[in-house]
């Protein structure tokens, strides 16, 4: 990873964690996406038709996600007024949420019923962590590609690649190259997080969630000036 300590390096760590936590939640909580709101609409519809578990968690995922993003915005404004570091503080809170997700998953899991109180609380910790990550990224890393939304990133990367190949990006070809590099890196690290998460879940179950806690702690300790 080049330029460790840069906004791009922080975005890469967040993308890795986004893929990791989303995959672990999907595998261990019967299709619950902790970071992918759209995915929960799909899996909720499937659960309703099939009559499977996990309906409650998927229904509550969106309102919880919205609530955490709103709270993050309020907290960020309050910290800024007091002259505190918004980015490092919110990322530190995210680490605590990831740690709670890890501990509850290991203690209470594996979950045969994703609608049980223990499974719901575990899922809520993961969703809160990813909602906070999304809020932080949107505000403080606005020039970097999203760390959890790969559909839009893949679409834009494909458009930029085609434009560069046929010359359609002129006269902004340099901007397209920079954007394409950032998008490709985000997609790569997210995919790497997914792959590592799936492998570790297969081998050691929820114990693999220790990895995003460590990665999140490294990200929180990085000294980076917010972009906004």
Give me the residue spans of the domains in the chain.
7-221
pLDDT for 164 equals 82
Tokens of 62: 């969106």
pTM, rounded to two decimals: 0.87
pLDDT for 228 equals 45
User: Rounded CA gap, 73 and 15, in Å?
Assistant: 21
For the chain, 228 residues long, give each residue's pLDDT as a single digit of tens: 455 668 888 999 999 999 999 999 989 988 788 887 777 667 777 666 765 666 787 788 888 989 999 999 999 999 999 888 889 999 999 999 999 999 999 999 888 888 899 999 999 999 999 999 999 988 888 888 888 878 878 888 888 888 888 865 555 677 778 888 889 999 999 999 999 999 999 999 999 999 999 999 999 988 665 554
Per-position b or e across 24-47, b if 16+ CB within 10 A of its CB = bbbbbbbbbbbbbbebbeebbeeb
To which residue do tokens 């990831």 refer?
A: 98
CA atoms lying within 13 Å on the CB side of residue 219: 31
Cβ partners under 8 Å of residue 214, min gap 6: none
To which residue do tokens 């492998």 refer?
A: 199
Tokens of 187: 């997609």
Cα→Cα distances 99→126, 131, 141, 207, Å: 9, 15, 23, 11
Rounded to the nearest 10°, the torsion over CA 169, 173, 178, 182 is 20
User: Rounded CA gap, 17 and 141, in Å?
Assistant: 16
């Amino acid at each position: 990873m080049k330029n460790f300590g840069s906004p791009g390096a922080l975005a890469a760590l967040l993308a890795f964690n986004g893929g990791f936590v989303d995959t672990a939640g999907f595998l261990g909580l019967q299709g619950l996406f902790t970071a992918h709101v759209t995915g929960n609409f799909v899996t909720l519809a499937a659960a309703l038709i099939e009559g499977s578990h996990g309906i409650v968690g998927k229904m509550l995922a969106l309102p919880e996600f919205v609530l955490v993003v709103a709270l993050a915005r309020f907290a960020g404004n309050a910290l800024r007024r007091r002259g505190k570091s918004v980015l490092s503080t919110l990322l530190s809170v995210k680490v605590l949420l990831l740690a709670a997700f890890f501990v509850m998953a290991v203690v209470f899991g594996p979950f045969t019923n994703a609608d049980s109180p223990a499974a719901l609380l575990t899922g809520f910790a993961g969703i809160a962590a990813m909602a906070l990550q999304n809020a932080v990224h949107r505000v403080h890393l606005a020039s970097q590609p999203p760390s959890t939304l790969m559909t839009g990133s893949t679409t834009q990367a494909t458009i930029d690649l085609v434009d560069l190949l046929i010359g359609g990006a002129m006269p902004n070809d340099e901007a397209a190259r920079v954007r394409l590099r950032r998008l490709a890196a985000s997609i790569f690290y997210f995919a790497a997080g997914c792959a590592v998460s799936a492998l570790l879940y297969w081998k050691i179950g929820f114990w693999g969630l220790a990895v995003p806690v460590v990665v999140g702690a490294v990200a929180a300790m990085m000294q980076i000036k917010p972009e906004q």
